[in-house]
Amino acid sequence: MRSASNSSNKITLFLPSIGYGGAERVTVNLAEGIVALGFDVDLVFVTSDDPPLLTDIPEAVRLIDLDAGRVAASLPKLIRYLRREQPVALLSALEHTNVIALVAARLARVDTRVVVSVHTTLSRAIRDSTLLRARMFPLLMRWSYPWATKVVAVSEAAREDLLETTGLAPDSVKVILNPVVTPALFEKAKAPLPHRWFAPGEPPVVLGVGRMVTAKNFQLLLKAFARVRKELPARLILLGEGELFSSLKQQARELGIADDVEMPGFTENPYAYMSRAKVFVLSSIFEGLPTVVIEALALATPVVSTDCPGGSAEILEHGRYGILVPVNDEEAMAGGILQQLREPAPLSEMPGSWQPYELTGIAKEYISCLTGGME
């Protein structure tokens, strides 16, 4: 734990863990942006069981591990933290963490402003989840979210879905885009990558990045890539880990493309791959705001994405900045990949595609919301 900070200028960020995930990544980015604006930041997390982002957290941010194991079990410890530290504001991310944050602040009886953020298309996340608690989220959110100072959705699509799923008042939910584009992104993209597939004269590499779970639909990408291989020499790299890792490897073997597919698992620096790939592909069934698409655009990597519920169409401006294909359409996805391989879009001429997601501007929006500037 790092040294204590001034509670009168303190913003607290609350996460289940500081492991690798989209919400965790953008929260760490936001911590950096808030510190740069002159605020003290506590990053409070439920458990440190999965800490790969630890090295990315700015030294000025104080880390507080509640060591609670599960989110629900963190409630009494979070109450004690709020009573002791009394931060100006508490920002939480992810559904179950948001509910606990709101209940803790209410029971702690402190003046801390509580802002909760929604990073997914809630209705699809609930529909695709096998967890019983997921079915309870709309009820818990209808009950607890009115206690929030503000609810933030990371895309207009996520906001509309949240309102429809929970029945919250429209004026209680504001869209603030994710702080995705940071100076560190560009620096990491330049890091050496001694991978044989990126050597001069090698076939082009198609890249996918994300958790190996049903929602990311890498099964579709493998099928589409098998079609691409019948037309052009190419290779596919999938970065990430998850429950479907083994079955995806087996699928690649069954499709006869295993020699041209590599799955290195989790990597702390996917941007070195992203900046060198010829095409980046998002194959998801649903998203909230797919940060990897924004990162690819910032690194001038041509994009093919499913037009899934979530923010992909918003990011790509309905096809202006990349190719959108229907969900679960392997033929269309293969066609999009082939088009980008043959005639890639000149993304270096489209900075407007990623500039709305730059860290400094987004951090200022959050500070305004967290400190009352939007009221």
How do the pLDDT tens digits run along the chain, 375 residues long? 344 445 669 999 999 888 767 788 889 899 999 999 999 999 999 987 655 556 678 889 999 999 888 888 999 999 999 999 999 999 999 888 999 999 999 999 999 999 999 987 777 766 666 666 666 777 888 889 999 999 999 988 889 988 988 888 999 999 999 999 999 899 999 999 999 999 999 999 999 999 999 999 999 999 999 999 999 999 999 999 999 999 999 999 999 999 999 999 988 899 999 999 999 999 999 887 888 999 999 999 999 999 998 889 989 999 989 999 999 999 999 999 999 999 987 766 567 788 899 999 999 999 999 998 644
The CATH number given to 7-179+358-371 is 3.40.50.2000
Instruction: Please return the burial class of 95, using the count of CB atoms within 10 Å of its CB with bins 0-12, 13-18 and 19+.
Output: buried
Q: Where are the domains of the chain?
A: 7-179+358-371, 183-355
On the question of a common fold for 7-179+358-371 and 183-355, the answer reads yes
SS3 content of the chain, % helix, strand, coil (to 5): 50, 15, 35
Alpha carbon distance 218, 209 (integer Å): 9
What top-level class would CATH report for the domain 183-355?
alpha beta
Q: DSSP strand E in 183-330: where?
A: 205-209, 235-239, 261-265, 279-282, 303-306, 323-325
Give all strands (DSSP E) within the chain, no chain letters. Answer: 10-15, 40-45, 62-65, 89-93, 113-118, 150-153, 173-175, 205-209, 235-239, 261-265, 279-282, 303-306, 323-325
Q: What is the C-alpha separation between 38 and 297, in angstroms, rounded?
A: 30
